[in-house]
Amino acid sequence: MSQTPWTRKTLSMFLALVFLAPTLVQASEDSLYDFLWLDPDKKVYVLQNKVYKKKGTGYVNAGYVMSQTPDFFDSTGWHLSTGWYFHEEWAIEGYFNTYSNKTNTTYENLKNVNGAIPFSRQFNKTYGLMAVWSPFYGKINTFNKIFYFDWSIGAGVAKIDAESNSTTAAIPSAADTYKKESYTGAILKTGLRFHATKRMHLDLNLHRTIYQAPGPVLNGVGPDKWWGNTDVVFSVGFSF
Q: What percent of the chain has pLDDT over 70?
A: 78
pLDDT score for 143:
83
CA dist., res. 154 & res. 205, Å (int): 10
pLDDT score for 37:
54
Give the model confidence (pLDDT) of 40-97 as tens digits.
Answer: 665 555 545 678 899 999 999 999 999 999 889 999 999 999 999 999 999 999 999 9
CA dist., res. 161 & res. 78, Å (int): 15
CB 119 within 8 A of CB 140: no
pLDDT score for 16:
54
* Three-class secondary structure of residue 19 per DSSP: helix
Query: CA nearest 232: which of 210, 212, 209, 201?
Result: 209
What's this model's pTM, rounded to 2 decimal places? 0.78
| Side chain identity at residue 20, one-letter code | L
* Three-class secondary structure of residue 219 per DSSP: coil
